Structure 1
Amino acid sequence: MTSATPSDTEDEHVIAKGVDEEPVEANRRLFTGSSLALMSVAGALYAAFHMAALNGISIYEITGIRIPLLPAFPMETWNFRIVHVAGALILGFLMFGPRLTFPEKGQETPVLGYAAYVLMAPALFALGMAFSFAVEISNGVMWNGIDARIRFNETYYFGLPLIIATAGGIALSWFHRRERSGFSAPDVVLSVCAVAVATYLITIYGTLMRNSTGTPFAPIGISIAAVAGTALIMELTRRVAGMALVVIASIFLVYVFIGDKLPGFLNSPAITWQRFFSQVYTDAGILGPTTAVSSTYIILFIIFAAFLQASKVGDYFVNFAFAAAGRARGGPAKVAIFASGLMGMINGTSAGNVVSTGSLTIPLMKKVGYHRKTAGAVEAAASTGGQIMPPIMGAGAFIMAEITGIPYTDITIAAIIPAILYFVSVYFMVDFEAAKLGMRGMRSDELPKLAVMVRQVYLFFPILILIYALFMGYSVIRAGALATISAAVVSWLTPYRMGPRSIFKAFEIAGHMSIQIIAVCACAGIIVGVISLTGVGARFSALLLGLADTSQLLALFFAMCISILLGMGMPTTAAYAVAASVVAPGLVQLGIPQLTAHFFVFYFAVLSAITPPVALASYAAAGISGANPMETSVTSFKIGIAAFIVPFMFFYNSAILMDGTVVEIVRAAVTAVVGVFLLSSGVQGWFLGKSAVWFLRVGLVASALFMIEGGLVSDAIGLGIAAVVLAVQRVIHPKPGATVPVRGAD
């Protein structure tokens, strides 16, 4: 195998360049000079720390030199998660401003900056007290929540300064204006507060005090540190992911303290703030399943994605898709399905993937004749589908494995047929749209050369190595590490060889990319903590059981609505984590198998990204296409309509999730694909090369629903209805109403 030459990957063969480059958010600071160098090193060290910790690699093992201040690996689990969250908070506050705009030169507010530095005194004092507590404990002082001296010191020498610095820093940051290339003083204060919280919690949780959380023996400092930590997490989440998740988390936090006054299933026992916050920053909340996954699997695959980006493999994925599918009618839309699905699987966020690949595919879809709202909708639907594509599933598979205890490999195998059904349905939808509008594909001279792309097929090796390692029994962490190393090795067969500088850059990219998802997972942990500590999840399960007494289908429909509602405006991982805590236990109590129940809520949490009125992926696509955001979200909902039916198929036919004999699984897959084809034909009004009048479309949808149900009798009825529709169309030739196809981009 020979190395690719630059001519193989340049102008005449390539139309996708930089599609996997990290997007620059509107509120991200653009550092220069020494500030840029500092943040680059910080981001790279943060990501490299995780890679080393997860694989048990210490500096001593590499160099033979013992450095006492550096952590020993493997780290204690809680300490590792605390450092994981704290590092993201520090990087996040320094990198992301509190507003979407930055002032022009001369419009800064230096007075507020000076005021922020006054707050540095209590922040540093709180940090110093946390270290002093560590010294006392190491000298044998018995630390508990009963001793009056300890309570006084924790409350007034640690807690009060920390709360003053945290609250003041957040408030000042909203009004302080600093140029985009510089550090903001209030954000520096917040970073110090994050260090103080982490230092105190590691000190206290390093003793037996973690067993006292939620009891009178818990030191008051735990509760105060958790209040500050919760505020920091929610503020960073607001900056990097918007208000949706913050509002939901706030509602849940308010519920903790008013739940005893609410009627019906919302009523919960009275909980004091000390008891709640002493527990929420433990594995019952913030340090629980969501952070467990973000600190292991998610950041590992972010590093993997960063290595793919540094080696330009992402560009190859998109170019390969263009070479393979670009000539088909409506070619760019079909390219978007494959390329965005593949990139979205690794990317982890629907909206983020829309921004990266959509900047290329959406203009090309408009060029070949798709309406701009349709172009945006196709990209949104395809990018959202990446979240359900095995083996990575946008990190959703890892969270599901963590929450359910079901082996990761079982989850990825179960996801194969549903993912096929989703992408097949989207393919049919765009193909029928192209047929109705008489579109052409792209010309050969407009596309990368397939022969060149095939010669570089080895660039798929990192993905193949990942899959092979997982199914050979390697742990997810070890498989991810091997895939990451293979991405660097494969790059040496391309013009983009990864040396020390490129590897450093990949770690830097990973450190910066991880901030949003870590903040979101930590914030989702707050919600999970409220649900587990108040028992509202169990009461919601009882409500579902009551609905099931009336109709099991009604209970499933209600569960679908709640899953979508909880997921609106939230990234996939957070949406699923919350829905899994609220909805999935109720479905399990209905008698639905655990895997089926969790897939059900996972799918609808994912689909919230294309569900009106809050459809993040659709809105991101509309920003690129120039279409109306609401029209785009409605169209993406229509294109992804089959995905809203697939979860109900899990309930009626478990063979869709690979649960059954080979014959049952094959029959379920084939009939479901036929059903999806009929559904797409009915929705688009195009059946076997001809337009379909309204009553034939109704028949097609009805036949699709029978085929999707999964029984032998229902399949026979569905095929019978489809046969009648075909006979009417071919014999009677009913003519649809006059329509004017839109061929232009507008």
Structure 2
Amino acid sequence: MVQSTGDQDGVVMAEGVDEEPIESNRRMFDGWRMVFIFAFAALYAAFHMAALNGLSIYEWTGVSVPLLPTFPMETWNFRIVHVAGALSLGFLLFAGRETFPEPGKGETPFLGYISYALMIPAILSLGAAISFALDIESGTMWNGMDAGIKSRETWLFGVPLIAATGGGIVVSWLHGRHRSGFAAPDVLLLICAVTVATYLITIYGTLMRNSTGTPFAPIGISIAAVAGTALIMELTRRMAGLALIIIAGIFLAYVFAGQFLPGFLNSPAITWQRFFSQVYTDAGILGPTTAVSSTYIILFIIFAAFLQASKVGDYFVNFAFATAGRARGGPAKVAIFASGLMGMINGTSAGNVVATGSLTIPLMKKVGYHKKVAGAVEAAASTGGQIMPPIMGAGAFIMAEITGIPYTDIAVAAIIPAVLYFVSVYFMVDFEAAKLGMRGMREDELPNFRELVKRVYLFLPIIILIYALFMGYSVIRAGTLATLSAAVISWLTPFRMGLREIAKAFEIAGVMSIQIIAVCACAGIIVGVISLTGVGARFSSLLLGLAEASQLLALFFAMCIAILLGMGMPTTAAYAVAASVVAPGLVQLGIPHLTAHFFVFYFAVLSAITPPVALASYAAAGISGANAMETSVASFKIGIAAFIVPFMFFYNSALLMEGTWLEVIPAGITAIVGVFLLSSGVQGWFLGGRAAWYIRLAVIIAALLMIEGGLLTDLFGIAVAGGAFLVQKYLRPDPETPLPVRGTAD
């Protein structure tokens, strides 16, 4: 839990920002179980660090690492192990039910016995997968069309696996087990996950991977993919709720129902064998989303865990307090600053809310913000961290993987959009504080800025990361150097990282990575449906049709789809899905590749504060005690200017750093002025006082004209804003002037 504390020098303002939030369905082990999970999670994360750096060294020098003879691993095997490890660890750690019975009370031993019975077919299936591997190793030709092999795969491997997987998932929903113990259904699901991985590594190690999606694919691939898909969706439900599961379920239903639908939704008939033999390949689950989660995302989760273990997160929040706490409505400004710093590393908006909001939201309420506004400010600020370069909550790396655009180009292009987002949120909360007559925090309520400046070296890991990336180092090398520097720099603090602390950091990373790996794999299911059914191409045709009537209408429609697809989903999954559905259509409209993907990415991020399903707002409401829907509406209002920013990319690509400095700088300045005016109009606060309705309307019109980015519209915008300024300053209209009502006398 985040706490506000103080010491003799007033240096410490926040403690506990780096502590892990404990989910309601997470098991809390003790004794040998705790040691086992600690070792499992730490080794899982360390395995990725070793494998990625083994691959990096191999690609850099052409020499395998002598101490790591298995590295570099074959890509497919690496991704399969990556997903299987997250499934295994996730099922042990996170229960299928939200509540835990007390030890000896409310437990369901009968369901445990059913789970033990289902372990028999699960182990039989695992044994069959191992026997297939031994057969292939001994030189047996594995032909998916051979009747004998097909029968063995179906009855010795497939049917037992499906029975164990389906039964284990259902039983886990009902089974009661106290919080500190392993549950039998979850151990059963672990065995099923290992079985799927064993079989796929065996088969994909042969030429069988080239037969996926054809009649020559072994039936076992399809059956293993069915079980693997069910396991991924079940873990995603436990980790991220039902929203993503419902969307994935709709897409899966579309595969088989699409042939019966009319118009552009109609798709060719696809058999379940063909679909599932291909969905667990790089066309789906093992595709771009898992490629990124198994490399860049987990690498930066390890980096974040090392920062967490060395308490750098506490320093970030303290620094934010010392820098911004004196301004009016100080804690709200702190939330913007701290959440931007933490959010670019944290992979989810809601997770960032929990990390920093436990401190900032109560302080915002203390200085006068309404509880729904306090929660909304934190939600909007935490969401903005996902578009903050250089890390962008791993979004930049997914965009680089999908588009092929170099990461450094994406990070540079994100600078002005991130500035516009945080400037807009800053103005919104500043004007709210001005309307309410709020004060800043007193000197004795804040950390000692001079003391904090003495520890500014704690920013070095992030500076090293940025420097290494822009010096042309690979992302893996840059991330590894930054992680190592975090451990080294910790020796200049009271939280020195020895072997035990490093092991703890790896364990934190292993646990932190489960959710994002699960949602990336689940998003891969949706991406697989889109690519295999061709619905993305048909959606692009629909956008082209709309663009013939109005390109702005097509963009608005694309915005709505991106937000709709992103509701209830973590940012990485939201962008991956929207990029598959929406971005290709925008590219066909003639919009540059980078602009189209930034457009989609921006709205996928903003879905976290868009009603009715706004994950970041709901998380903030849980802390503030406000109504969740009211908080989401308030966060939508605070971030309203950000919903216009992506349209600015379309009209003026200089905002993505495309063009000369003489084009980029004026575009950035006029956009910031436009965002300021829009915030003034929305909040009804202009030039130090409340504004009448017609002043607000004029200011909003001026903002939209300046945001558009053309010379003529900028001049018109300046003229309108100037007129509003003169009226506000010299005529001082009554801000309570009512709106004119038709049919009434003057």
If the TM-score is normalised by the length of the shorter chain, which range does it land in?
over 0.9
Question: In 1, distance between residues paired with 2:494 and 2:481?
Answer: 22
The residue type equivalent to 2:211 in the other structure is S
Equivalent position SS for 2:525: helix
Alignment of 1:654-673 (within 5 A): 654-673=653-672
Q: Specify which of 2, 19, 22 is matched with residue 21 of structure 1.
A: 19
Q: 2 CA distance for matches of 1:501 and 1:586?
A: 51
Structure 2 spans left out of the alignment, 5+ residues: 739-746
- How far is 1:20 from its partner? 2.3
Letter in 2 for 1:227: V
Equivalent position amino acid for 1:86 in 2: A
- For each residue in 1:318-353, what CA deviation from the matched residue of structure 2 results, as whole angstroms up to 9, or x when unmatched? 000000110111000000000011101100100011
- Cα distance between partner residues in 1 of 2:355 and 2:164: 38
> How far apart in 2 are the matches of 1:480 and 1:66?
22
**Do the aligned residues in 2 keep the contact of 1:59 with 1:66 (CA within 8 Å)?**
no
Contact 1:52-1:58 within 8 A present in 2 as well: no
Structure 2 counterpart of 1:382: 381
Partner of 1:84: 82
Following the alignment from structure 2 to structure 1, what is the Cα–Cα distance between the partners of residues 245 and 718? 48
Q: Deviations over 1:448-471 (max 9, x none)?
A: 000011000000000000000000
CA shift at 1:216, angstroms?
A: 1.3
Match of 2:34 among 10, 33, 36: 36
Distance 2:170 2:419 in 1: 48
Query: Helix, strand or coil for the counterpart of 1:203?
Result: helix
Residue identity in the other structure for 1:47: A
Aligned CA distance change for structure 1 residues 71 and 217 (closer, same or farther; 3 Å): farther
- State whether structure 2 residue 10 is matched by structure 1 residue 12: yes
Letter in 2 for 1:362: I
Is 1:397–1:411's contact at 8 Å kept on the other side of the alignment?
yes
Q: Which amino acid aligns with 1:386?
A: G
Q: Measure how far apart 1:523 and its partner are.
A: 0.2
- Residue number in structure 1 paired with 2:588: 589
Residues 460, 66 of structure 1: CA spacing in aligned structure 2 closer, same or farther, 3 A cutoff?
Answer: closer
- In structure 2, the residue matched to 1:327 is 326
The one-character-per-residue Cα deviations of 1:88-129 (angstroms, maximum 9, x if unpaired) are 000000000011111123211111101100111111111111
Cα deviations across residues 345-384 of structure 1 (Å, max 9, x unaligned)?
1001000110110000000001011111110000000000
The whole-number CA distance in structure 2 between the counterparts of 1:481 and 1:698 is 51
Q: Which residue of 2 aligns with 1:173?
A: 172
Task: Please state how far the C-alpha of 1:10 moved relative to its aligned partner.
Answer: 7.1
Match among 47, 50, 58 for residue 49 of structure 1:
47
- Deviations, residues 245-291 of structure 1 (Å, cap 9, x unaligned): 00000000010001111100000000000000000000000000000
Counterpart residue type for residue 564 of structure 1:
I
Counterpart secondary structure, 1:346: coil
Distance 1:279 1:660, change over 3 A: same
Residue in 2 that maps onto 1:567: 566
Counterpart check, 1:456 vs 2:455:
yes
**CA–CA separation in structure 2 for the residues paired with 1:223 and 1:99:** 29
Report the Cα distance in structure 2 between the residues aligned to 1:300 and 1:397, rounded to whole angstroms: 14
Give runs of aligned pairs for residues 526-541 of structure 1, distance below 5 A.
526-541=525-540
Residues 112, 172 of structure 1: 8 Å contact kept: yes
Unaligned 5+ residue runs, structure 1?
1-6, 740-746
1:400 aligned partner: 399
- In the TM superposition, 1:444-593 aligns within 5 A as 444-593=443-592
Say what the alpha-carbon RMSD is for the aligned residues: 1.7
Counterpart in the other structure of 1:743: none
Map Cα deviations across residues 636-655 of structure 1 (whole Å, 9 max, x no partner): 00111111000000000000
Name the SS of the counterpart of 1:364 in structure 2. helix
Residues 1:222 and 2:221 aligned together: yes
Call closer, same or farther: CA 1:726–1:59 in 2, change over 3 Å.
closer
**What secondary structure is seen at the aligned counterpart in 1 of 2:54?**
coil
> Which amino acid in structure 1 is aligned with residue 494 of structure 2?
P
Question: Is the Cα–Cα contact under 8 Å of residues 417 and 645 in structure 2 kept in the other structure?
Answer: yes
Q: Shift in Å at residue 733 of structure 1?
A: 1.0
The code of the aligned residue for 2:17 comes to: V
Aligned equivalent of 2:635: 636
2:682 is matched with: 683
Q: Distance in 2 between matches of 1:390 and 1:271?
A: 42
In the alignment, structure 1 residue 143 sits paired with structure 2 residue 142: yes
Letter in 2 for 1:629: A
Counterpart CA distance in 1 for 2:124 and 2:563 is 45
**Alignment correspondent of 1:238:** 237
The structural deviation recorded for 1:21 is 1.4
Q: Is the 8 A contact 2:6 2:13 kept in 1?
A: no
User: Residue 4 of structure 1 corresponds to which residue in structure 2?
Assistant: none
1:117: which partner in 2?
A: 116
1:3 maps to: none
List aligned pairs for 1:704-723, cutoff 5 A: 704-723=703-722
Distance 1:600 1:10, change over 3 A: farther
Q: Distance in 1 between matches of 2:359 and 2:65?
A: 49
Superposed CA deviations along residues 383-407 of structure 1, whole A, max 9, x for unmatched, are 0000000000000000000000000
Task: Give the match for residue 304 of structure 2.
Answer: 305
Does the 8 Å CA contact 1:610/1:637 hold for their aligned counterparts?
yes
Report the secondary structure of 2:376's partner residue.
helix
Q: In the aligned structure 1, how far is the partner of 2:530 from the partner of 2:559?
A: 19
Could you tell me the TM-score, scaled by structure 1's length? 0.96
Encode CA deviations 1:188-232: one digit per residue, 9 max, x unaligned.
000000000000000000001000001111100000000000000
CA deviations over 1:447-496 (Å, ceiling 9, x no partner)? 10000110000000000000000000000011000000000001000000
Equivalent residue, structure 2, for 1:700: 699
Report the 3-state secondary structure (helix = DSSP H, G, I; strand = E; otherwise coil) of the residue aligned with 2:153. helix
Which residue does 2:252 correspond to in 1?
A: 253
2:183 is aligned to 184
- The 1:36–1:581 alpha-carbon spacing in structure 2 relative to 1, beyond 3 Å, is same
Deviations 1:623-676 (A, max 9, x none): 111111111111100111111000000000000000011110000000000000
Q: Distance in 2 between matches of 1:10 and 1:253?
A: 60
Q: Secondary structure at the match of 1:55?
A: helix
Shift of 1:44: 0.0
Kept in 2: contact 1:326–1:335 (CA 8 A): yes
Secondary structure of 2:14's partner?
coil
Letter in 2 for 1:124: I
Q: Distance in 2 between matches of 1:509 and 1:20?
A: 11
2:107 alignment partner, SS class: coil
The AA in structure 2 aligned to 1:306 is A
Report the secondary structure of 2:345's partner residue: helix
Distance 1:370 1:11 in 2: 29
User: What is the CA-CA distance between 1:12 and the residue it aligns to?
Assistant: 2.6
In structure 2, distance between residues paired with 1:351 and 1:404: 26
The 1:58–1:464 alpha-carbon spacing in structure 2 relative to 1, beyond 3 Å, is closer
Instruction: Determine the C-alpha separation between the residues in 1 that align with 2:654 and 2:246.
Output: 39
Evaluate the alpha carbon distance shift between residue 510 and residue 14 of structure 1 in structure 2; reply closer, same or farther with a 3 A threshold: same
- CA distance in 2 between counterparts of 1:686 and 1:354 reads 28
CA distance in 2, matches of 1:550, 1:406: 31
Letter matched to residue 33 of structure 1: G
Cα distance in 2 for partners of 1:387, 1:198 equals 32
| 2:178 partner amino acid | E
Deviation at 1:139, TM superposition (A): 1.2
Counterpart amino acid of residue 146 in structure 1: M
* Distance in 2 between residues matched to 1:226 and 1:365, nearest whole Å: 49
Identity across matched positions, percent: 79
Counterparts of 2:582 and 2:566 in 1: how far apart (Å)? 12
Residue 93 of structure 2 is matched in structure 1 by 95
1:410 aligned partner: 409
Structure 1 runs (4+) greater than 6 angstroms displaced: 7-11, 57-61, 64-67
Whole-Å separation in 1 of the counterparts to 2:579 and 2:215: 31
What is the 5 A alignment of 1:347-358? 347-358=346-357
**Cα distance, 1:71 vs. partner?**
6.9
3-state SS of 1:181 partner: coil
Q: Compared with structure 1, are the counterparts of its residues 679 and 57 closer, same or farther at alpha carbon in structure 2 (3 Å cutoff)?
A: closer
1:11, distance to aligned residue in structure 2 (A): 7.3
CA distance in 2, matches of 1:432, 1:477: 42
Question: Which residue pairs with 1:422 in the alignment?
Answer: 421
